[in-house]
Chain A
Amino acid sequence: MQYTRKHRRPAVRWAAAAAIASLAAAGLAACGSPNAVNSQAGTSPSAASSAFHAVKQDTSAPITVWVDSTRLPGVKAYQQSHPGVKLNIVTYNGDANGSNYLQTKVELFNRAGSGWPDVVFSEEYNDAAWSVEPGIDWVAPLNQGLVPQSTLANFAPNALAPCTSGGNVYCLRNDIGQNMLWYNSALMKKFGYQVPTTWEQYQALGAEVAKQHPGYITGSVGDPWTPEVYFWASQCPANQISGNTVSVNTGSPDCTKMAKLLDAGVANKSLTTQSAFADSFVKQYAAKTLMLIGPSWYGQYVFNAALHVPAGQVAAAAPLSWSDQPTASTGDVGGGIWMVSKNSANLKAAVALAQYMSTDNAYQLTAPTYPAYQPAATAWLAAQAKQHYFAGDVTGVFTKAATEIWGGWGSGRYSQENIWAATMVPQITSGKTISSLLGTWQTAIENQARSFGYTVG
């Protein structure tokens, strides 16, 4: 036994040596260079997509649609009202919360050369950014004879900005998440407080609440969308994207003044570091949420569905402004999009569904979110008024806030929410001030942008 082993060993060694040598040879024979950090970097998206050629069309072909559970009833209703369309409905997570499911699947479909859904709904409007990259390039330019120009023109200002690349529109925006000041009017009245209109008043009121009614809160900074709620509103240049260049300057006064305001609120506990979506938040603050700055969908999702605040108490006020600035600006949290695959064999049916879901009153009136399509938004607000959940009419506030979204915050292939959640939230929770973390935030954004092939300038 020992004898044969001794004789076998050299053979194994030779084989190993040969394998290593061949690998080394492969290394020496290198004739290319590694992929650019992101293989699409440096190529203009429009170059790849300017000439859109549909695949062979068949107007009776069934279409596959991917939706999340929130949008599912709408698609089912469409199926019932359009029995002639053969629909294959697939429910998925809507690509929510940075799950990245859609991109994972699309890249696999691209490698396989088949399998794409014809229509897809995504909760992440950033998804349009990677969808049009030359290496992926799987969505149809809807403005090229698929959706009428008059329809596209009716979306809220800037609503289609995340969908637009190289002059083409690649998605239809389902809803927008313009931020506003949500408050509990019953509590405000009981405590005798005025609703603030400037950030300075908001900060002063927070300090007062902390003293007079400890335990009550005027906002939360524990969410992944803290940057969009506060820093976007304060026009902090943390996410400026132009072509393939990202510029970040979290040291700008527009960022530092907001960081100071938030730090003061966290210090006196008028702002909580808990996420409004954590179970612990609901337990602790369901009856003690005086105000929350947040998107248009907070009214129904947070106050009604999660905190169970009774009807007639929740009200919305216009976005806050800084006292030295004439106009308010606000951020935009989320807002889903509908995209159509350029590989669809039945573009007509696919586009019809996407257009119906994003613009038709029949669906949008039933949606919990504020429609990006303006005629639908008007009808939606009227429908909300009839539900009598909010204390008073929110129409004016919603409409005004929708026009005040600051256009200087870009929509990139990476997620600002992910960066904030992974880098900032744990540190803020552990007691560090946001002001002291602005540098960390800057580095994290720059690193992330670079790893996605952007030039940081």
Chain B
Amino acid sequence: MALSLKVRRAGAPATPARPPAGDGPRRGRAGYAFVSAYFALLLLFGVAPTLYAVWLAITNSNGQLVGLGNFAQVLGDYRFFPAFANVALYLVIWLVVLVVAVIVLALMLHGRLRRASSVSRFVFYLPGALAGAASALVWMFMLDPSVSPVAWLLHGLGYSTFADVIAPQRLPAVFAIMAFWTGAGGWIVVMYGALNNIPDELLEAARIDGASALRTAWHVQIPLLRKWIAYMLILAFATGTQLFVEPQLVGAASLGEVSDSWSPNQLAYQYAFHANNFNDASAVSIYLLILGLAAAALVVFRSGLFEAGQ
């Protein structure tokens, strides 16, 4: 994967060459043909389930419309706010660490480590290739002081058992570590590619003006990465609010020491499959959808992500 991600070297034109004018209409139709298969799947497995969830969320098990009744009902559930609070804390830790670490590592790869860069990119990316469940399992192994290869570190921090490590107040950080380990590598590769798109002339001009690497990064590179960072934030926020696998698996591995409704997504799962209430489950999922859309809208409008042209 990393090998195929060979990005255009800096200095190459940033905008693609225009297609020959005469080819226009035919190319357009071919484009639709290419997209159609994906579009059909998107409708079938993306849009239709979402609409079905919306329908379930405003009806009851007899198919009668109940307005916003389900939304009010789940709002009153004693697990609702703790679940969102858990995930909010997790998101704060994860998003901050993600943004800072990804940018710093990408800048270092791009500037200082150029020679070792392709190997480093591959290594960074590697954990992301592991499926979520597998990486959670790896981390449960890492975080159990009785079997962990870094047991000395855990003991040094004062944790002698797995139960110590996964104490409730540490869970958001534990899940953030797991998410960072699997998710950050891919983003480092993406940011590296974005950095390569910054024309060398700009960096050279900064150098000639006497800017240090730090100043160049802060005043030239990071502002030009703004849209990429916004993009990363939107996607990371959406996946973050949907946290499910990690708390579910750590809960199972610890014989239930993590609540089975730790995250909103788990709460929805509890509604659907423990209480046989698909309508309330859908209401929770719609809350998540609204939250994700709202956050995305905020980031898009603040960063001008979709503004035409540069």
Asked if chains A and B come from one complex, the reply is yes
Chain A contacts to B: CB under 8 angstroms: 1-2, 5, 23, 26-35, 37-40, 97-100, 103-104, 107, 133, 135-136, 222-224, 273-275, 277-280, 283, 417-418, 421-423, 425-426, 429-430, 447, 451-453
The residue from B60, B144, B255, B275 contacting A224, defined by CB atoms under 8 A apart? B255
Complex CA–CA separation, A219 to B58 (angstroms): 51
Contact residues in B for A430 (Cβ distance below 8 Å): 167
Given contacts A38-B277, A275-B163, A426-B163, contact A224 B256 (CB under 8 A): yes
The residue from A1, A32, A224, A275 contacting B308, defined by CB atoms under 8 A apart? A1
Other CB < 8 Å A-B pairs besides A103-B273, A274-B163, A418-B256, 18 of them? A27-B68, A28-B67, A30-B64, A31-B64, A32-B59, A32-B62, A33-B60, A33-B66, A35-B61, A37-B277, A99-B252, A277-B255, A279-B147, A280-B145, A283-B146, A422-B260, A425-B163, A430-B167
Contact residues in B for A32 (Cβ distance below 8 Å): 59-60, 62, 64-66
Complex CA–CA separation, A34 to B59 (angstroms): 7
The residue from A37, A97, A223, A425 contacting B275, defined by CB atoms under 8 A apart? A37
Given contacts A97-B252, A280-B146, A426-B168, contact A39 B276 (CB under 8 A): yes
Residue-wise, chain B 48-68 has the 8 Å CB interface mask toward A (1 for contact) of 000000100011111011111
| 5 pairs of A and B residues whose beta carbons are closest in the complex | A32-B64, A421-B256, A30-B67, A27-B67, A34-B69
Given contacts A28-B67, A32-B64, A39-B276, contact A279 B144 (CB under 8 A): yes
Complex CA–CA separation, A48 to B307 (angstroms): 60
Query: Is B73 part of the contact surface with A, judged by Cβ < 8 Å?
Result: yes
Nearest residue (CB) in A for B74 is A34
Among B162, B167, B257, the one with the most A-chain Cβ atoms within 10 Å of its Cβ is B257
Contact (Cβ within 8 A) A222 B256: no
Contact residues in B for A277 (Cβ distance below 8 Å): 255
- Chain B interface, DSSP helix/strand/loop, else mixed: loop
Given contacts A34-B70, A100-B273, A452-B275, contact A426 B61 (CB under 8 A): no
Contact (Cβ within 8 A) A421 B257: yes
Contact residues in A for B77 (Cβ distance below 8 Å): 451
Query: Is B274 part of the contact surface with A, judged by Cβ < 8 Å?
Result: yes
Contact (Cβ within 8 A) B274 A280: no
Complex CA–CA separation, A136 to B272 (angstroms): 13
Smallest distance from the beta carbon of A275 to chain B beta carbons, Å? 6
Smallest distance from the beta carbon of A348 to chain B beta carbons, Å? 30
Complex CA–CA separation, A97 to B254 (angstroms): 10
The residue from B65, B161, B257, B279 contacting A35, defined by CB atoms under 8 A apart? B279
Please list 13 pairs of residues, one from A and one from B, whose beta carbons are closer than 8 Å in the complex, sorted by A's number.
Answer: A32-B59, A32-B64, A34-B73, A37-B275, A39-B276, A97-B252, A275-B255, A278-B146, A279-B144, A280-B145, A280-B160, A280-B162, A422-B260
Interface residues on B, range: 35 or more
Complex CA–CA separation, A283 to B160 (angstroms): 12
Contact (Cβ within 8 A) B65 A26: yes
Given contacts A26-B67, A97-B255, contact A274 B280 (CB under 8 A): no
Contact (Cβ within 8 A) A104 B273: yes
Complex CA–CA separation, A97 to B258 (angstroms): 12
Nearest residue (CB) in A for B253 is A97
Among A34, A39, A97, A135, the one with the most B-chain Cβ atoms within 10 Å of its Cβ is A34
Contact (Cβ within 8 A) A31 B65: yes
Contact residues in B for A222 (Cβ distance below 8 Å): 163
The residue from A40, A133, A422 contacting B257, defined by CB atoms under 8 A apart? A422
Nearest residue (CB) in A for B65 is A30
Nearest residue (CB) in A for B54 is A23
Complex CA–CA separation, A288 to B77 (angstroms): 45
Contact residues in B for A273 (Cβ distance below 8 Å): 163
Contact (Cβ within 8 A) B162 A278: yes
Contact (Cβ within 8 A) B58 A280: no
Contact residues in A for B164 (Cβ distance below 8 Å): 429
Contact (Cβ within 8 A) A35 B60: yes
Query: Is B135 part of the contact surface with A, judged by Cβ < 8 Å?
Result: no
